[in-house]
Homo-oligomer: A and B are copies of this chain.
Amino acid sequence: MSGNTTGVIFRVTTWGESHGPALGAVIDGCPPLMELTEADIQTELERRKPGQTKASSPRKEGDRVEILAGVFEGKTTGTPISLIIWNRDVRSGDYEALRNVFRPGHGDYTYAQKYGIRDHRGGGRASGRETASRVAAGAIARKILVREGVTVKAYTVALGGVQAGAGVIAEAGQNRLSCPDPEAALKMEVALKEAQKAGDTLGGIVEIVVQGCPAGLGAPVFDKLDADLAKALMGVGTVKGVEIGAGFAAAGMPGSQCNDPLLPSGFAANHAGGILAGIASGQDLVIRAACKPIPSIAREQDTVDVNGNPIKLTIGGRHDVSVIPRILPVCEAMVCLVLVDHLLRQRAVARFPSTSVI
């Protein structure tokens, strides 16, 4: 229980380092008899793959997923699904200079503190590359959700200080940043180019909307649906804040404004973000995650080496300017994992026999 497993029923364990031979995930608890191919998973990995755009790292990872277990003749068997993604194009030598240096904003220092040993090559286990395993596992979760009529879609609502205005989600796919506000998207692209030129990086805010989430999903007290979503997203290395529905803005509202009235036709607003008392209300789930700028910058920084000596560090190598848009499928994957786990948990403790609710 060292933190590499998530879920109660739909359990995902990831393993692998950025510059080791491979990454992978084991998914235990996937219902049997579901059709599943490597292509189903590959589709999601492609969305996360680096090297596609100017803003992304030019490293060619390949990211070909292989299913090693748990699928027989195209269908899940109910036993653990084992996925592997081989690391290719791994130039560990690039990192030799960093062996004894703590990069600011990275996990180098804290890993050394915790373990007394770290794989310094590309962040090892703390690398963003670890999220490939999550996306792969999330692709399986998504297949289950699709069967239940649930869709999960992440888009960009802020980047480098540029805020998207209220846009149409359907527009989000039309630009490579998945920003529903086309004008803001253009400004974001400008900000990215300028940051790159300056050897700097940018952060942003991702909004995830879940449609079709069944009312009743979730749990009271500690494992609230929003609590598990917050953990899942805050568990992505780049995320420094998570909010649901009105989120931090709710703190400034009076109750008479924040409460969502109930009408015979349904809820009249959605400040709750689709979750009341930790349980889904049947409205859309609306979640936002704040992503910090990528810490690997090309500008000179103050840091120390493992002996505490001061160092002026300039990081070269292949790095993205922003985690956006590559983080979008990661956020979706994390939300999918939480929803499927709660979906299966709900089946377990639903009343006997199932009847209409109200």
Known: A31-B349, A218-B110. A304 touches B263 (CB 8 A): yes
Selected interface stretch from A38-46, A99-107, A168-176: A99-107
Least Cβ–Cβ distance between A289 and chain B, in angstroms: 9
Q: CB-CB contacts of A310-330 with B at 8 A, as 1s and 0s? A: 100000000000000000000
Residues in B neighbouring A81, C-beta threshold 8 A: 15
CB pair A105 B260 closer than 8 Å: yes
Number of interface residues of A (CB under 8 A): 163
CB pair B244 A241 closer than 8 Å: yes
A272 at the A/B interface (Cβ < 8 Å)?
Answer: yes
Q: CA separation between A242 and B228, bound complex, in Å?
A: 12
Residues in B neighbouring A204, C-beta threshold 8 A: 251
A58 at the A/B interface (Cβ < 8 Å)?
Answer: no
Q: CB-CB contacts of A20-31 with B at 8 A, as 1s and 0s? A: 111110101111
Known: A111-B277, A290-B243, A351-B116. A3 touches B263 (CB 8 A): no
- Which residue from B161, B215, B293, B345 sits with its C-beta under 8 Å from A258? B293
- Which residue from B161, B277, B299 sits with its C-beta under 8 Å from A237? B277
9 additional contacts (CB under 8 A) given A110-B215, A227-B235: A2-B223, A3-B224, A5-B11, A9-B9, A33-B115, A104-B261, A148-B352, A222-B231, A258-B293
Please name the 5 residue pairs, one residue from A and one from B, whose CB atoms are nearest each other, closest first: A107-B277, A3-B219, A3-B223, A241-B243, A231-B231
